[in-house]
Amino acid sequence: MISCTREEQIIADITIENVIYGINDVPIYSSNAQKNKQKTSAQYLSTVYSDLFQTTIPGNDLVNLSGLLKASGDKIMMSELIINNFLNEQIVQGFLPTQAEMNNDIEGFINDTYIRFYLREPTELEKHLLKTMIEQDTAITPEMVYLAFSSSNEYWFY
């Protein structure tokens, strides 16, 4: 009677460790002139979603919204509608500064907003103009400022 024997050979001893991913510091731009590459629809949506929700966009939401943005004849109008929808979400409302917080520290709000959306600090002129606008028009809300920044031409570039 003949039988087969099984031989096992260990080629490598592999140890798998848990990898923890952290958030890397992102360098900020010194001016908007350094931004010369336009974002794709998916990049734009991913960026605006993470800036507002403080988390990554679910894959199927990205696919659906990307298709919606690409199918629209007016990309800017459609992006504003999407952003308005995002801003009305309860979870996003928790990440927005209140009207009182914005008005109590306008310069801090402006600096934080520029870094959050444009990855750069505002110029002195930009600070002055936006501060004057917020001080003179009490109807301006943080939501309006966030909508303006996230639908601006500069936000479409990196």
Q: Are residues 53 and 90 in the same domain?
A: yes
What confidence tens digit (pLDDT) does each residue in 101-114 have? 999 999 999 999 99
In a domain, 56, yes or no: yes
Instruction: Average the pLDDT over 60-86 and give the result.
Output: 92
What confidence score (pLDDT) does residue 144 get?
97
Q: Verify that 77 and 124 share a domain, yes or no.
A: no
**Looking at the structure, do residues 113 and 146 belong to the same domain, yes or no?**
yes
Domains contained in the chain, number: 2
Q: Is residue 8 part of a domain?
A: no
Average pLDDT over residues 150-158: 91
82 and 60 inside one domain = yes
Mean pLDDT of 56-76: 91
DSSP one-letter string for 64-120: HHHHHHHH-S-HHHHHHHHHHHHHTSHHHHHHSPPHHHHHHTHHHHHHHHHHHHHSB
- Put simply, whether the predicted model's pTM sits higher than 0.85 gets the answer no
Q: Does 90 lie in the same domain as 101?
A: no
- Model confidence at 85: pLDDT above 80: yes
Position 5 confidence tier, pLDDT thresholds 50, 70, 90: low
Residue 21 has a pLDDT of 52
With a cut of 80, say whether residue 3 has pLDDT above it: no
Report which of 122, 91, 86 is spatially closest to residue 107, judged by C-alpha positions.
122
- Residue ranges making up the domain that contains 137: 97-152
Rounded Cα gap, residues 47 and 84, in angstroms: 15
Ranges 31-40, 69-78, 112-121: which has the least confidence: 31-40
pLDDT tens for 121-148 read: 999 999 999 999 999 999 999 999 999 9
> Are 88 and 62 in a shared domain?
yes
Give residue-wise pLDDT tens across range 8-54: 555 555 554 555 555 566 666 666 667 778 888 999 999 999 999 99
